[in-house]
Amino acid sequence: MNGLKKFYMNDKIVVPVFAVITSLFIAAIVMIMIGKNPLMAYGALIFGAFGTKGALINNLMKTTPLILTGLSVGLGFRAGLFNIGANGQLIIGALLSTYVGSKMIAYPFYLSIPLMLVTGMIGGALWAAIAGWLKVARGAHEVITTIMLNYIAVFIANYVVNGPFQAPGGVPKSPEIAYSARLPILATSGATWLSAGIFVALAAVVVVYILVEKTKLGYEVKAVGFNPYAAEYGGISIGKNVVMAMAISGALAGLAGTMQVMGVYYRYLGALGGSMGFDGITIALIGQNDPIGIAFAAFLISSIRAGSNQMQIAGVSKNIVIIIQGIIIFLVAANRLVKTFMFWKRKEVEGA
């Protein structure tokens, strides 16, 4: 808890930039060690992320949910909470909104789209609020409870799409949502397309920014995250704000899952969440829990992820991307290490 608040007070640009560059450098050394050319690999990565119209569309499509899970984790950090449960919240949100969306066949878009958005957020919010409540009422650490809730969500989803809410044929999946509930498509290239979900994600950036910086709720949540005892002494309820922060964090993750349903798959599929919850942690840390920073960090991580397929074709396993992310998080966690290194370098320059 103590360390979490220190994050925000850090040098907001230096630490993440240093972490990203160092991780890419270490990954390059690994590639050299296995006899691959890192310049070729990173070239393939950049081409795979930005090289063609299709690549860019694919990249922005992947950025959409990552902005939302990044905001979800980042908002949690601001409140002093480590929400590792974005994946579970995303699943429950997507399931609930898919169910509603599949029942909207007779309704116009101006009813079905808002209704899906709202149910997706409610699903994620309720799932996360369980962890918030367990923390406040029972003192259970949110890291353990949200991870358990992730597993339970996966089992629930598997149960539901293998039984009561199953579409016939092929892999386990839910029925499709109504056409009226699908988001408009902005651009298409081959089999990939970019939906208006990117605007929903960008709107969420603005809303979270206003919420955190300009509202009473945001002030209280930050105060609790910064120093819960001082906040309580000042008349701010820790319990209420922890549950609220957790619920809003979950709502954002639920919205991420809903975007995957409304803009990409049009139904619930097991693979829909991927590793977006864990990616959200990397993104929030690189973005230093700042909504705008998170939007850029989401685009960065999405580019690395999208480009990694091309890199794999060029002969470097895309698991290297997970290593890169691990190193980034590690370096941001050990930020004193980064600062020591920077300080040491600066002193050396002065000495010379």
Partner 1 sequence: MNAWIQAIINVFVNPIFYKSTLNQSTPLILAALGGVYSETTGVVNIALEGIMLIGAFGGVVGSYFTGNPWYGLALGVLLGVSMAALHAWASIRYAGDQIISGAALILLAQGITGFSLVELFGKPGSTDLVRSIPLVNLGSFGNVPFFGKIFNSLSPLVYIAFASVAFSWFLIYKTRLGLRMRSVGNNPEAADTLGVNVYNVRYFGVLMSGVFAALGGAFLSIGELGQFTENMSNGRGFIALAAMIIGNWSPTGAMWAAILFGAASAFNDQLQSQGILHLAINTQYLFGMIPYIITLIVVGGLVGKSRAPSADGIPYIKD
Binding residues (CB under 8 A) for partner 1: these are 1-4, 6-7, 30, 34, 82, 84, 134, 137-141, 143-145, 147-149, 151-152, 155-156, 158-159, 162-163, 278, 281-282, 285, 317, 319-330, 332-337, 340
Beta bridge partners of 195: 185
Min. distance of Cβ 204 from partner 1 in angstroms?
23
Give strand ranges (E) for 71-191. Answer: 185-189
Which CB atom, from 190 or from 326, has the smaller least distance to partner 1?
326
Provide CB contacts within 8 A for 106, sequence distance 6+. Answer: none
Provide CB contacts within 8 A for 332, sequence distance 6+. Answer: 7, 15, 16, 19, 285, 286, 338
Structure tokens at 45: 């990565």
For residue 154, give Cα distances in angstroms to 28, 67, 247, 302: 35, 22, 19, 23
Which CB atom, from 111 or from 334, has the smaller least distance to partner 1?
334
Min. distance of Cβ 14 from partner 1 in angstroms?
16
- Taking Cα atoms as reference points, which of 58, 61, 59, 65 lies closest to residue 257? 65
Which CB atom, from 14 or from 185, has the smaller least distance to partner 1?
14
Q: Rounded to an integer, what is the distance from CA 249 to the centroid of its chain?
A: 10
Which CB atom, from 153 or from 183, has the smaller least distance to partner 1?
153
**DSSP label at 270?**
G
Which CB atom, from 99 or from 117, has the smaller least distance to partner 1?
99
Min. distance of Cβ 13 from partner 1 in angstroms?
19
Q: Rounded to an integer, what is the distance from CA 56 to the centroid of its chain?
A: 19
Task: Identify whether the C-beta of residue 46 lies closer than 8 Å to the C-beta of residue 24.
Answer: no
Min. distance of Cβ 263 from partner 1 in angstroms?
27
Min. distance of Cβ 148 from partner 1 in angstroms?
5
Which CB atom, from 50 or from 151, has the smaller least distance to partner 1?
151
193 membership: H or E segment, kind and range: strand 192-195
Structure tokens at 276: 């977006």
Min. distance of Cβ 317 from partner 1 in angstroms?
4
For residue 47, give Cα distances in angstroms to 19, 134, 135, 305: 23, 46, 45, 12
Min. distance of Cβ 26 from partner 1 in angstroms?
11
Which CB atom, from 45 or from 84, has the smaller least distance to partner 1?
84
Min. distance of Cβ 134 from partner 1 in angstroms?
4
Which CB atom, from 84 or from 94, has the smaller least distance to partner 1?
84
For residue 292, give Cα distances in angstroms to 18, 121, 240, 297: 19, 21, 27, 9
Min. distance of Cβ 157 from partner 1 in angstroms?
9
- Taking Cα atoms as reference points, which of 243, 290, 241 lies closest to residue 131? 243
What does residue 187 show for φ and ψ, rounded to 5 degrees?
-155, 145
Provide CB contacts within 8 A for 221, sequence distance 6+. Answer: 75, 78, 79, 212, 241, 244, 245
Which CB atom, from 56 or from 311, has the smaller least distance to partner 1?
311
Structure tokens at 288: 């230093």
Which CB atom, from 51 or from 315, has the smaller least distance to partner 1?
315
Structure tokens at 257: 């899952």
Rounded CA-CA distance 102/98 in Å is 6
Min. distance of Cβ 206 from partner 1 in angstroms?
27
